[in-house]
């Protein structure tokens, strides 16, 4: 089954200084196909350009395109109604839950480095840490 | 609340909560440092390098580890 990459895995692939970069890159290159979404790409850009890391917009876009332009890459639209998200108790879970539902709707697994997310009941069977 | 009172409260936090505090402190310290005179290394932002024929980003000196918690903290400020 193909994977939808969340922002943490996308960052691990695009930043050589990320602690998991070697593993993430090897994993990505071993995939017959992988998927990104506007959500994960929209997360990659502001984190890369944030005061903590200070990438230029142009450089961040080059690094992102070096992932999304691979022959095995595809992108899914954020086309799942928000109403499909399960009932949540934490506002911080909304985007993650949406990404889980987006992956589910497209027959994908959500690949993430967030082990806490992987243990959420609503993410069971969809979110997994592939590294 | 004083700094000493905040520090005393930290001992009551779980590991996950401490990681969130750690990530936030990194960001606050960097933002605070940016208002003073940065060193040559700190003034430089991230750059692109080529690895195996593909361009990837490399963080500037002193950048915090790009952990899940750091990423969450940054995105929490993203409108």
User: What ipTM does this complex have?
Assistant: 0.87
A92 burial via Cβ count (<10 Å: 0-12, 13-18, 19+) = exposed
A113 contacts in B (CB within 8 Å)?
68
Of A50, A92, A116, the CB nearest to B74: A50
DSSP A129: -
Of B31, B58, B72, the CB nearest to A51: B31
Alpha-carbon distances, residue A77 vs A3, A31, A81, A102, B1 (angstroms): 14, 21, 11, 9, 46
Q: Which of A9-18, A59-68, A85-94, B16-25 has the lowest mean pLDDT?
A: B16-25
Distance, in Å, from the CA atom of A6 to the CA atom of A39, rounded to the nearest integer, reads 8
* pLDDT score, position B76: 86
B40 contacts in A (CB within 8 Å)?
none
Alpha-carbon distances, residue B65 vs A48, A49, A106 (angstroms): 12, 15, 32
Distance, in Å, from the CA atom of A11 to the CA atom of B66, rounded to the nearest integer, reads 8
A41–B contact, CB cutoff 8 A: no
Of B31, B57, B72, the CB nearest to A59: B57
The pTM (predicted TM-score) of the whole model is: 0.78
What pLDDT, in 10s, does the model give residues A25-63?
A: 999 999 999 999 999 999 999 999 999 999 999 999 999
Beta bridge partners of A36: A75
Contact B51, B2 (CB under 8 A): no
Give which of A25, A50, A118 to mutate to test B binding, by max B Cβ within 10 Å. Answer: A50
Contact B71, B24 (CB under 8 A): no
What pLDDT, in 10s, does the model give residues A101-126?
A: 999 999 999 999 999 999 999 999 99
B71 contacts in A (CB within 8 Å)?
7-8, 11, 43, 47
Distance, in Å, from the CA atom of A25 to the CA atom of B72, rounded to the nearest integer, reads 22
Give the tokens for residue A7: 């922002």
């Amino acid at each position: 089954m193909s994977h939808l990459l969340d922002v943490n895995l996308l960052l691990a692939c695009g930043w050589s200084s990320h602690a998991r970069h070697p593993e993430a890159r090897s994993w990505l290159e071993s995939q017959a196909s992988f998927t990104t979404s506007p959500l994960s790409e929209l997360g990659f850009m502001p984190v890369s350009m944030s005061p903590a890391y200070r990438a230029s917009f142009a450089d961040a876009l080059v690094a992102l395109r070096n992932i999304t332009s691979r022959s095995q890459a595809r992108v899914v639209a954020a086309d799942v109604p928000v109403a499909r998200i399960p009932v949540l108790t934490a506002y911080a879970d909304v985007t993650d839950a949406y990404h889980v539902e987006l992956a589910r709707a497209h027959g994908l697994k959500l690949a993430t480095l967030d082990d806490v997310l992987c243990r959420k009941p609503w993410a069971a069977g969809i979110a997994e840490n592939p590294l | 609340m004083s700094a000493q009172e905040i520090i005393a409260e930290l001992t009551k936090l779980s590991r996950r909560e401490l990681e969130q505090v750690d990530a936030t402190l990194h960001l606050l310290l960097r933002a605070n440092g940016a208002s003073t005179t940065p060193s040559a290394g700190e003034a430089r932002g991230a750059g692109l390098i080529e690895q195996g024929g593909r361009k990837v980003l490399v963080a500037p000196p002193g950048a915090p580890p790009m952990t899940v918690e750091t990423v969450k903290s940054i995105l929490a400020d993203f409108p």
